[in-house]
Structure 1
Amino acid sequence: MESKEILIAELTKLLNGGTAHVGLQDAVANLPFNLLGERPHKLPYSIWQLVDHIRIAQWDMFEFSKDGNHKSPKWPDDYWPKETAPKSEAEWENCLKQINVDLKAFIELIESKDLFEKIPHGSGQNILREALQIADHNAYHVAEIIVIRRLLNAWKS
């Protein structure tokens, strides 16, 4: 296997949740809908807000990586949902689906691009940096989701 193929395989594992910790799909599996808006112990965010934030930020990094005309949302206001809970189970499911669709498309992008080439419309970023940033950002917030689930007694023991 060539070095590029090895790197892409490892990035793909990392983007899908890595091998050293729980990924997003496991972090939200079997989560009761009524707990999505809970903010235990006066935490400033709910599981819904964290998951929707992951969706928005990942989408932004993906779009930035491929589209020179992309306009990022206003930081930080437009990266966080105002509502503590989704309006419906359909909104929740659509959020999770969009995260998966965008992640799959981003992985296809890293498979087709030079990971080290500067993004023409960026300020020095490359696709590798964006891949690592998505993985790092998602892992950080997935850990927060698990902490909230533990505080709500809704995490496997």
Structure 2
Amino acid sequence: MESINTAQQIDSLVRAQLVELLEGGFAPNVILLREFDYQKAGVILAGLHFSAWVLLGHIWARQQTLLQFMRHPEQDTDVWPDAHWPENHQPQSEQEWNAAIDAYAHELEEMISLVKDPATELFKVQPNGKTLSWAAMTTLHHTGYHIGQLKTIGRQLGVW
């Protein structure tokens, strides 16, 4: 009986840690995005090929791909297609910037709900050889990398 409780405790612990990291850990992704001044979201600093707006679009597109896999793991097996980099480098309005953040946040919450749900088989190997825990970890790793870039851009532009 003790090993069942231990397995359940480990499962709960892993799920809680994945949720914490998906939210951004010590640098909450959605909060950082909402703090970013949309008027500076289209600035491309010297030496870079992207703006904060492009980063948001890229992060969101990758998250959508991985969330789609988590929703339908046996149908949506292409989890790492070519990277999507938006062509336009700036939002057309504050409303567009905020709507993109809202959509990203909504889909992030859906992914978090899947991770939290004990019925979600996080560690079952899917037909493509991946697991749903892999998709969640890939999302947090990819997002964390680019959120770091966004934070650096923001510091250079005086956002923080």
Coarse TM-score class (shorter-chain normalised): 0.7 to 0.9
Whole-angstrom CA distance in 2 between matches of 1:50 and 1:2: 36
1:88 alignment counterpart: 93
The counterpart of 1:28, out of the listed 16, 30, 33, is: 33
1:6-155 to 2 correspondences below 5 Å = 6-19=13-26, 22-67=27-72, 68-70=74-76, 75-76=82-83, 79-110=84-115, 111=117, 112-120=119-127, 123-155=128-160
1:73 Cα deviation after fit: 9.0
Question: Normalising by structure 1, what TM-score?
Answer: 0.86
Q: Which runs of 5+ in 2 are unaligned?
A: 1-7
1:3 alignment counterpart: 10
Corresponding letter in the other structure for 1:137: H
Are the aligned partners of 1:23 and 1:139 in contact in 2 as well (CA < 8 Å)? no
Q: What is the CA deviation profile of residues 18-45 of structure 1, one whole-angstrom value per residue up to 9, with x for unaligned ones? A: 13xx122232243222101001123110
Whole-angstrom CA distance in 1 between matches of 2:81 and 2:124: 27
Q: C-alpha root-mean-square deviation of aligned residues, in Å?
A: 1.9
SS at match of 1:142: helix
Whole-angstrom CA distance in 2 between matches of 1:132 and 1:30: 25
SS at match of 1:119: coil
1:11 Cα deviation after fit: 0.6
Whole-angstrom CA distance in 1 between matches of 2:31 and 2:112: 19
**91-100 or 25-34, which deviates more:** 25-34
Whole-angstrom CA distance in 1 between matches of 2:89 and 2:145: 19
Whole-angstrom CA distance in 2 between matches of 1:28 and 1:117: 33
Corresponding letter in the other structure for 1:23: P
Name the count of aligned residue pairs.
Answer: 149
1:124 Cα deviation after fit: 0.4
Are the aligned partners of 1:37 and 1:85 in contact in 2 as well (CA < 8 Å)? yes
Q: What is the CA deviation profile of residues 113-154 of structure 1, one whole-angstrom value per residue up to 9, with x for unaligned ones? A: 11110124xx20001101100000010000000110111122
> Which structure has the larger Rg?
2
Q: Which runs of 5+ in 1 are unaligned?
A: none
C-alpha change, 1:13 and 1:64, in structure 2 (3 Å) is: same
Corresponding letter in the other structure for 1:118: V
